[in-house]
Amino acid sequence: MPEADLYCVMGDPVAHSKSPRIHTLFAAQTGQAIRYEARRVPAGQLAGALRAFRAEGGRGCNITVPLKEEAFRLADHPTGRVLQARAANTLWFRDGIHADNTDGIGLLRDLRQNLGWEVGGMRLLILGAGGAVRGILGPLLEQGPELVVIANRTVRRARELAGEFAACGPVDACGFEALAGRRFDLVINGTSASLGGELPPLPEGLLAEGARCYDLMYAARPTPFLAWAAQWGAATSDGLGMLVEQAAESFCIWRGVRPDTAPVIALLRREMGG
Ligand code: ATR
């Protein structure tokens, strides 16, 4: 039995991260000898944590809140996706720090392959303009939506983000109040409002016939956003599938083997009691 290669997720908080469970399931399924830990690393301390981890023989890591932008700044070899998002969630070490961002591709795999929801040609509304949205905008725009509107409580942040991605496709920014009278086919909640049991103020009539609503957060019970969407008859999904898909992309980068995500999503869903 070869000695297991060491990986981890770094972030703060990280105690309840599902990444160790997901990667352990992937490793068992594909016969890869890896060990995967969760390490709490406060903002501003990523460089030191990575040095220590590499000294222990660490091969690669996932990066979560609040360190994704810091990881981008520390990367010696960022992929185009990282340069575009200015945020990284997957690192590996070989002649320096390599960095990729698998959040956007993970979301697209969940939307298109698992749910059968297309983005091309759709009127797309994204709620929020923080780190979570930064990672998914480029890959969503690459799908050729008719229009992407970023709505945020702090309109300035939405405008900044739309400005950064203007060259990638038709992207616009506004505050929630300016959504009145507009209609969308796909709405993605990237705010952290659900964490506090809150819902951004959304107008009536926002959802077009057959609209779909996706929350980047996941929970055993519907988030306030998904409960709102279901009440208007929309198809809904939380972000558990995206979580597993972005992990599968990382695993594939590290190990060169693509795990089967469907049984892992189903198992986690059962364990969550959902
Ligand atoms: P993350 O990395 O999770 O995206 P973030 O960068 O702090 O975290 O961004 C959080 C996002 O959720 C922001 O868009 C934030 O809006 P502001 O930019 O106005 O702060 C949004 N958000 C958080 N709580 C919210 C609430 N109760 N209602 C609406 N938006 C909220």
Q: Which residues are catalytic?
A: 68
Whether residues 164 and 64 share a domain: the answer is: no
- 37 with 87, same domain: the answer is yes
Out of 64, 153, 225, mutate this one to test ligand 1's pocket (max ligand atoms within 8 Å of CB): namely 153
Please work out whether the CB of residue 159 comes within 6 Å of at least one atom of ligand 1.
no
Residues 153, 254, single domain; the answer is no
| Same domain (yes/no): 152, 200 | yes
Q: Is 157 in the pocket of ligand 1 (CB under 6 A)?
A: yes
Q: Ligand 1: does its nearest atom lie under 6 Å from the Cβ of 241?
A: no
**Do 193 and 95 lie in a common domain?**
no
Report whether 57 contacts 44 (CB < 8 A): no
Instruction: Judge if 164 and 216 occupy the same domain.
Output: yes
151 & 262 share domain? no
Q: Whose CA is nearest to atom 27 of ligand 1?
A: 193
What pLDDT does 50 receive? 98
pLDDT reported for residue 48: 98
Domain presence at residue 90: yes
Q: Does ligand 1 come within 6 angstroms of the Cβ of 236? A: no
Q: What is the structure's pLDDT at 2?
A: 67
Distance 107 CA to ligand 1 centre (A): 19
- 107 lies in some domain: no
192 C-alpha to center of ligand 1: Å? 5
Full domain range(s) for residue 41 = 5-101+241-271
Would you say residue 70 lies in a domain? yes
Residue 108 belongs to a domain: no
pLDDT averaged per 10 residues, the chain (length 274): 89 95 98 98 98 98 96 98 96 97 98 98 97 94 98 98 96 98 98 89 96 95 96 97 98 98 97 83
Residue closest by Cα to atom 24 of ligand 1: 193
Ligand 1 midpoint to CA 6 (Å):
33
Residue 171: half-sphere exposure toward Cβ, Cα within 13 Å: 26
Q: How many separate domains does the chain show?
A: 2
Q: CATH no. for residue 221?
A: 3.40.50.720
CA of 96 to the centre of ligand 1 (A): 33
Between CA 2 and CA 55 the distance in angstroms is 20
Instruction: Characterise 41 by phi-psi region: left (phi > 0), alpha (psi -120 to 50), beta (else).
Output: beta
- Confirm or reject: Cβ of 192 under 6 Å from ligand 1: yes
Q: Are residues 216 and 125 in the same domain?
A: yes
Looking at residue 249, what is its pLDDT?
Answer: 98
